Amino acid sequence: MNKRYAVIGRLTKQVGVFVDNPKSVNTKYNILVDLENHPQAKEIELDWFYDESTNTFFEEGEIHYPELQPPQPTQLDRIESMLSSSNEQLRQEGADALTLELIERGIL
């Protein structure tokens, strides 16, 4: 009989699939649990939750997602912001110069 492994997502802590070849699992993103001698081996189903500290599976549980940090502006973002403010400043200066010229000519 082949050995059976539960593949648990590191983020969700839920059983995503069962495999018989542990080498096929990326352990960077998954926890691999050998079910050969596990006391719950016959009852575990897909989507069950796993507590790594107690090596116990639960039918119900919660997913605790990490808090997302807002992205930091890149150098390109900062350059675009500076160019945008420079363009706006140039537009305003051009509008001011045109207004002064129209006032001096008595048009406004």
What's the domain range around 106?
A: 70-108
pLDDT digits (tens, 9 = 90+) for 44-93: 999 999 999 999 999 998 877 778 889 999 999 888 888 887 777 878 88
Asked, for residue 63, whether it belongs to a domain, the answer is: no
Number of domains present in the structure of the chain: 2
Residue 79, both tokens: 């350059």
pLDDT(106) > 70: yes
Of 44, 54, 52, nearest in space to 4 by CA: 44
The 3-state DSSP composition of the chain as helix, strand, coil percent (nearest 5) reads: 30, 20, 50
CA dist 40 and 19 (Å) reads 16
3-state secondary structure of 104: helix
Q: What is the pLDDT of residue 91?
A: 82
pLDDT digits (tens, 9 = 90+) for 17-51: 999 999 999 999 999 999 999 999 999 999 999 99
Q: What is the pLDDT of residue 88?
A: 79
Residue 9 and residue 53 share a domain: yes
